[in-house]
Structure 1
Amino acid sequence: MKIVVIGGGIAGMSIAILLHHQGMHVVVCERDEEIPARGNAFLMHAEGLSVLEILRKGNKLTALPGRLIDTFHLKRPDDTEVKYLKLEPWQCIKRSDIIAFLYCLFPKENIRKGYLFSHFRYDNNRAVAAVFANGEEEFGDIFIGADGAYSAVRQHLFGKTNFTPVVVKEIVGVLKHPALVQSLGSTFNKYLSKDKGLSFGFIPTSSEELVWFVQFDVNLLPMTCTSEDMMRAFCLELLKDFPEIVHEIVRYNDFTTSYIWNATDFDLLPSFHKENIVLIGDAAHLAVPFTSAGTTNALIDAKVLATWLSHTDDYQTAFTAYYQERAFLVEEHTKLGREIKENFLHPTTEVDDDIKVPLIVNPTTKKTITPKQKCVHLLYFTDPVCSTCWIIQPQLRKLKIEYGAYLEIEYCMGGLLPSWDNYNRGGISKPSDAANYWQKASEKYEMPIYPDIWVDNPLTSSYPPSIAFKAAQMQDTDKAIIFLRRINEMLFFENQNIVEKKLLRQAAYEAGLDAARLLRDIEGKAQLLFEADLELVKELEIKVLPTFIFTDKYNHSKVLKGFQAYEQFEEVLLAFIPDAEKKLSNGNIIDLFTKYPTLTTKEVSFLGNLDMQQTDENLHNLFAEGLLVKHAINKGDVIWRLNAASYSS
């Protein structure tokens, strides 16, 4: 079977390479005389990167192009921070680099250049050859239209495309500026106007270059750019209220290589094929640039279509299955892009917290909870500066591993330290008392605690980090627990004063929260939520931290106060649910890190039911293999986490 791919861009070359890997005879017909590299750069999602790895198929000599991007930073033109958060792995890639990468992976003799599609030759309603403007014909059994947004193949199949009106345009450029790029790290920076449809973004593509873009409402300023200088002047006028870094990028940019794009799309097609002709990439569906979905979707199209073609001899079945698998997601991306575009055009109607990150995300599947599950509610009263709450982490984490299917855990802040004014609790009345208490607790329970903070830079109150936890809960309850753990580590392990907002901001970022929103919420609703926690503490007369209140569906309760052996937790739970099935650890250390981002040596030993000495040896072996990284301070205590570089896939 011979397959003819019309279009030698990213979508066309990707499907050609995949089908070539399967032993099929594939020919690519590209309209340009040279390798097509029109365009500047784009962001690619991890799903797209995984397809590139498949395309490379073990060819380690051909490195994946681009630069890792793991942070999104959104500001207003006056430098007011709107969003600051960690991203799933993305890669910023120059179009010329990925095209060169793809062309290295496909036989050159199977590429036809200068082949501009004209029409198909048919026999009994089935295409038998693609005819090109140069008079050449390419015969085949299957024809794949990958000729881009303004696809002639699509028009041939479905008639004229009804594009949405162009109300937003985008100017894109690539700038070589090593000093500036060095300062950007791995961050996607964007400035967004608060009162009009105007934004400017810039993203590193390598150690020396960055891609930049300006998106604008076409009604803002008449556009008459007939030369490089006129386009530069147009951008500078449009962006006159933006920061100096924006002006610097525009001034230094070579506009002879910049492009103007129309932000348009079209409704989902009723099908991606007719007979033996099928569409992929922008030819099949077009996303506006607000989602960065286009290139990733093209690669996923190629993977899905190639998979179905390899699984069946009936191409009609393969084409139908390909459409069914892809249609819903690409339509969702179209809807998301249109929603972001409308909000972009009418920014005054959208509050900062509701602004969407202009990137697609992986679809999530909600977990189904059977009636047997979540039978017990655990109300956990804790505090970010409570040393016993830190020491009891191994027990609580083990409870979640072994009986998490039966437990719904609710975190409530206990308000341990309002201030040092007239404070006297548990024999502690001043910072030096807290230092002594922490020292003894660490020695007794073998969890790393360093009390020097109470001598060097004592916390004035536990209220600020408690309010920050409530702010984290407003965004995501699971990430809020990661955030609490992180500020615990900062305090007990790293000797840092977690009252400071810069540390709370950093912890929020590391936990995957929007750190800019967290700082806003600390000053707003989070304070009310914290006050509600304090009212509950008062109502239930909570005097000891931690306190655990277990309640079953019949409203029977059991209270545990202070430090507890793990067997006490287990005993209470089994009293409520005698037939509860314990989920035992398999002893695999890496599995533990997929449940908890960071672990102490004591926790790994305790959670995995492993000998302490053997645990330490195993952890250091994994560290030597590059699978773990460690954060160590004095006394040899270590907090471990997975090496993200080893698990990027």
Structure 2
Amino acid sequence: MKTISIIGGGIAGLTVANILHKEDMKFALYERSSLQSNKGHGFIIPSEGLEILKTYVNSTDLLNDGNILNEYISFDYKGNFIDKKQLQNDFIISRKALVDLLEKNIPREFIYHDKSVSYIQKSTDGILEVFFSDDTSIVPTSIVIAADGSKSKIRTTLISDKLLRETGVHEIVNIFENSELATILGNQFLKFHHTDGGLSIGLLKVSATEVLCYAQFDINRYPLKEDSTIEINNFMQTNFKDWAYPVSLFLEKTNFENAHYWRVNELDILDDYFSENTVFVGDTAHSLLPFTSQGVTSAIKDAQVLIDSLKRNPSDYKKAFKEYSTVRKEEIAIHFKNGRLLRDNFLLPLEEQKNNIIPISFK
């Protein structure tokens, strides 16, 4: 059996590796980072994605490392109630915790860290050789699964006419330790909105001691030019200092040392999620807006649909790629549309926004 090459060890690449390992299919995974950072990252995973994850990782460990969300409640920035919606066992977990769970299932000899792609040699048949910045390279003996993110060097080498564009709404995401705020939040997803629109903050409990905060802002009205801890702290204190409790408690209890400034990008819609001997999964194939809360679940479903297609077509990877691409593009199109609708709604003054919207995209 030939070895499948996976480029990228984020959620998409690691999920692919978990499924391949479970199916006893040979693979090697190449990840650019030496260590996984917990800086700023956390994921909301709708119940559909959670159920898929439970089939590949220990469900007890998974649930212990994250938190079930049962209720979404929105307020204006003064704390006036706007709306309440029941959630269907949606889930939140830190990136580090999920990566650790996914890596735990994969034998060490199948994962290669410090493998940042520097150059790709290609032909009309696809990728011939992948060169890494540590002066090593691989010659794929089977298909290549590109999971190296929205700024993928693999994709941009193979498909050069599709662009990644910065959107007008950015995010600051922060995970920090505070058991007091975690207890207050419980299983609720709280979100506060400025009455003028274009500025909001969400608070969620990640674990017994961890809290995730994300601030979304219109960069034209609320510009942030530097991503240093000092500048992020100044930005948050300036724009959210008069907001209602528990936002005020959050500002008091964190120093933003783990905050991540996410310059949100949109990728042009690809004609297909593959090119010759290479197939794209996760953000490499489709960079969804964060308003959908579907980035992780979409990556997980990409992995599942792709491997199922390969199993059905073991001697015809091009047929498998086409089948996978057709199925996933149809669902992703829904999330693209929903993401733009959610973003446009967010930019409106609060009195013009639709109140019955949950910041999670569903089919």
TM-score of the aligned structures, taking structure 2 as reference length: 0.93
Give the aligned partner of residue 90 of structure 2: 90
Structure 1 segment 175-574 matched on structure 2, within 5 A: 175-225=176-226, 227-313=228-314, 314-347=316-349, 350-353=352-355, 355-361=356-362, 363=363
Distance 1:73 1:348, change over 3 A: closer
1:349–1:183 CA distance, 2 compared to 1 (3 A): closer
Which whole-Å CA distance do the structure 2 matches of 1:123 and 1:259 have between them? 38
- Is the partner of 1:127 in helix, strand or coil? strand
Higher relative contact order (CA 8 A, sep 6+): 2
Cα pair distance change 1:236/1:143, threshold 3 Å? same
Partner SS for 1:182: helix
Aligned partners of 1:360, 1:317: CA distance in 2, in Å? 29
Deviation (angstroms), 1:124 = 6.0
How far off is 1:39 after superposition? Answer: 4.3
The code of the aligned residue for 2:93 comes to I
Higher normalized strand content (fraction of residues): 2
Deviates more, 1:304-313 or 1:157-166: 157-166
1:66 corresponds to: 66
Is the CA contact (8 Å cut-off) linking 1:93 and 1:205 kept in structure 2?
Answer: yes
Tell me the residue number matched to 2:139: 139
Aligned length: 359
Q: Which residue of 2 aligns with 1:42?
A: 43
Task: Structure 1: give runs of 5+ residues left out of the alignment.
Answer: 364-649
Question: Does the aligned pair in 2 maintain the 1:236–1:247 contact within 8 Å?
Answer: no
Measure how far apart 1:220 and its partner are: 2.1
Deviation, structure 1 residue 38? 5.2
Distance 2:277 2:29 in 1: 16
CA gap 1:228/1:251 in 2 versus in 1, 3 angstroms: farther
Deviations 1:219-240 (A, max 9, x none): 2234254643332121111113
Contact 1:22-1:310 at 8 Å conserved across structures: no
Q: Give the match for residue 19 of structure 2.
A: 18
Deviation at 1:342, TM superposition (A): 1.4
- Which letter maps to 2:35? E
Letter in 2 for 1:8: G
- TM-score, structure 1 as length reference: 0.53
Q: Which residue of 2 aligns with 1:629?
A: none
Aligned counterparts of 2:54 and 2:347: Cα–Cα separation in 1: 38
In 2: Cα distance, 1:179 partner to 1:24 partner: 46
C-alpha deviation, 1:186, in angstroms: 0.3
CA distance in 1, matches of 2:240, 2:40: 22
Aligned counterparts of 1:263 and 1:227: Cα–Cα separation in 2:
17
Root mean square deviation of aligned Cα: 1.9
Which one has the largest radius of gyration? 1
Cα gap change, 1:62/1:261 in structure 2, threshold over 3 Å: closer, same or farther? Answer: same
1:20-67: per-residue Cα shift (whole Å, max 9, x none)?
2111111000111224555421100112112212212xx567544311
Letter in 1 for 2:318: Q
Distance of 2:250 and 2:10 partners within structure 1: 28
Gapped runs of 5+ residues in structure 2?
none
Query: Which residue identity lines up with residue 170 of structure 2 in the other structure?
Result: K
SS at match of 1:103: helix
Mapped contact 1:40–1:94 kept (Cα < 8 A):
yes
The answer on whether the counterparts of 1:67 and 1:93 sit within 8 Å (CA) in structure 2 is: yes
Please say if residues 9 and 36 of structure 1, whose CA atoms lie closer than 8 Å, have aligned partners that are also in contact. no
Quote how far apart the aligned CAs of 1:311 are.
1.3
Contact 1:268 1:285 in 2 (8 A): yes
The answer (yes or no) to whether the contact 1:3–1:144 under 8 Å persists in 2 is yes
Residue 10 of structure 2 corresponds to residue 9 of structure 1: yes
The amino acid across from 1:116 in the alignment is S
Alpha-carbon distance in structure 1 between the residues aligned to 2:167 and 2:5: 33
